[in-house]
Amino acid sequence: MTPGIRPLIAGNWKMNGNARSAHELAEALRAAGPSLDASLLVCPPFLHVSLVASALLGTSVAVGGQDCHAKVSGAHTGDISAPMLRDAGATHVILGHSERRADHGETSAQVMEKAEAALAAGLTPVICVGETEAQRVAGEHEAVVGAQLEQSIPLGFITSGGIVAYEPVWAIGTGRTPTEDDIAAMHDFMRRELVNSWGPTASVTRLLYGGSVKPSNATAILALSNVDGALVGGASLVAADFLAIARAVPQE
């Protein structure tokens, strides 16, 4: 963890759940949220953002989207704008997730445009970066992540409290995780890159780790240098598991 930063445990529900399961999960988090030493963020599918935001109204649990379009409105069938997310009750939005970069061919330039739109709408972007297994094996992981940071982060991101999530692509949904040394080394690298590019303000930018985070490994991961929380996938769909990860945050 980074001294002075309140840890954030963010749940990416991806394309899962229905109205009933979303409401039940939100209610479970509503009951437990005040007892935690970490901030919570949940990102349901857009269809359920308003429902979950209503269920969590008056709590400290934040709600976010999983993507947004770079434009405010227009002929973009199937897309969701940042103002729409804001109107539905979201305060955050995940951008540049590896599944979006891979499945939809999103570039870092597009991620930056979306982040600019999110900031303009009053949303906090959670920008994801990470390398493939081939890139890590080739020793290119720092170059890849460094380029993604440089090309995805817009002006105003750091000073507006933007969040960066590192997700080794090969660890997402596989049950595999990098070694603790590898995670700490990458988070230390990202901190240096951000401070070098954006100045001292970036020393308190939240850096989340994402990639098969679960209750059994959360304590060790969350204790690592410059790991200020977690972006949780599958385990965020089970309230008990998600809350166990949040309770694994080390005491300052």
* Residues catalogued as catalytic: 97, 167
Token output for 129: 């970066």
Bridge partner list, 62: 41
Nearest to 158 by CA among 193, 189, 131, 188: 193
Binding-site positions for substrate: 12-14, 173, 212, 233-234
